[in-house]
Amino acid sequence: MANAMEILPELEGEEAAYVQMILSNMSPEQAHQFANVYRARRRKPQEILLLTVLGLFFIAGVHRFVLNQIGMGLLYFFTGGLCYVGTIIDLINYQTLTFEYNRKVADDIRITMGF
C-alpha cells in the first residue's frame, strides 16, 4: 500500500485523503506512475486563487476556463463575472473548486490507467 504523503507531499486536506483512498489499492509502482500523471494534470489552489483575482480586475472567467468549465467561463466572461458577484463567491470557494477539478482528474487517471 502506497502512502500519498510520501509520493505527493504537496497535497493537503481533502485532496490528500482522496488520493490516499485511490492509492490504497495500488502497488508502489502503480502509485508512482499515477502520481507522475496526477502531478502534471492537477491544479494548485494558489493558481486558481490568482486567476480568480485576475478575473476580478481584468478578464472574468479565466479560472473557470482553466478548471475546464467552458460554459461557466463564457458566462462569466460575457457578464463580467455575473456582475462581480460570481467572481467574489469563487474567491471564497477557490479551494472547493480546485478540489472538485482535481478529484475529476484523479478519477480520470485511475480509469484511464485501469487501476
Q: Which three cell numbers stand for residue 65?
A: 476556463
pLDDT digits (tens, 9 = 90+) for 24-69: 989 999 999 999 999 999 999 999 999 999 999 999 999 999 999 9
What is d(CA 83, CA 106) in angstroms, rounded to the nearest whole number?
A: 33
- What's the half-sphere exposure (Cβ side, CA atoms, 13 Å) at 114? 0
Q: Using an 8 Å Cβ cutoff, are 76 and 54 in contact?
A: no
Any idea of the CA torsion for 85, 87, 88, 93, to the nearest 10 degrees?
120
Domain ranges of the chain: 4-113
Percent of the chain with pLDDT over 90: 91
- The pTM of the full predicted model, rounded to 2 decimals, is 0.93
